[in-house]
Structure 1
Amino acid sequence: MKISNLRIKGFKSFGNNESVNIPLNNNLAAFIGLNSAGKTTALEALRRLFGSSNAEREINRQDFHVGKNENPDEIEERELSIEVKINFSDDEQEAVPHFFSNMVVDDQGEDPYIRIRLEATWKKSEILPQGEVEVKTYFIKVAVNEAEDDGSKQIFPNHFRSLIQVLYVPAIRRPAEQLKYASGSILYRVLRKIKWGD
């Protein structure tokens, strides 16, 4: 499975007015940009969808975009969405049966793919200091170029989360120091997978 497209709206530095569409190259994908351009935020968005633990997938108030001229205390409600398009290569046919009923195609003769979208809403609360957050993740059952309606979404089952996971390893600023404590860390797990081919 290959994430071929990432679409973000209202998440952290990504604004509320329009979705930001990030196509990912088949062979290599890298985020290059100035500081504060949103590179880390894009990776964190993937972790909110497919993190390996509940803590990595948790959405909280700080995840919702606040404009530079806005007063956070005056905001009553906010929404965000994170969506991926996932394609399947010819040598990954064993994964297709899990997702077959949720696949869509752009046109006749084109390769099928799946769309998965996380949608979250934050509402101000007089009871909870951080407000109330509601999060739902869906399969989107129509192609990217088709209009959505009430029947376009199907809840993404929790047991599917083990089939798609993102391991996010932050930039290493002091490698010698960090590698000393690597045993059991995400970096250790990634290096072990590379070495042993797990």
Structure 2
Amino acid sequence: MVRFDEFWTKKALIGLGIGQFVSLLITSTGFTSSELARKGINAPTSQSFLNYVLLAIVYGSIVIYRRKPLQMKWYYYLILAFVDVEGNFLVVKAYQYTSLTSVMLLDCWTIPSVILLTWIFLKTKYRMKKFAGAAICVAGLVLVVFSDVHASDRAGGSSPIKGDTLVIFGAMLYAVANVSEVR
């Protein structure tokens, strides 16, 4: 049995705090993207540019400070960056066509995609509980898509199916980028 003081270490609390901060940033980005799309502003690349600049500055500084060589060839990182940027572009673009709730829920398609890709390419062993959890996730996502199909009488965006499709493809690209980083 894990004791309470062993579980809530300083490292765990810092990780929890950083995770909550990142979650706040992601939610803020989603809300801002949704509001910009509602006002007719179409700039998905510009919206994500600052995120990638900050990521390059922070992560680049850490890599330079540690003075360790890259683990792979530089062009491999360029391909991963391209896949990630395209996935982010598709997800941010989807806000123009569907609701904030649909984008946030369908973005979770990354989870079953990562499970499938790691199972196929990295030969990761999963138990049935994980597959059952992923199946429940997929069932929920299917319900979101069906809800958007019948959302013509509600305010959900100009083309919910197009938006849902963009999010699903963007989430798949996120999964490809995440699994490829491990490879």
**TM-score higher than 0.5 here?**
no
TM tier relative to shorter chain: under 0.3
The structure richer in strand per residue is 1
Q: TM-score, normalised by structure 2?
A: 0.22
Q: Tell me which of the two structures has the higher relative contact order, counting C-alpha pairs closer than 8 angstroms and 6 or more residues apart.
A: 2
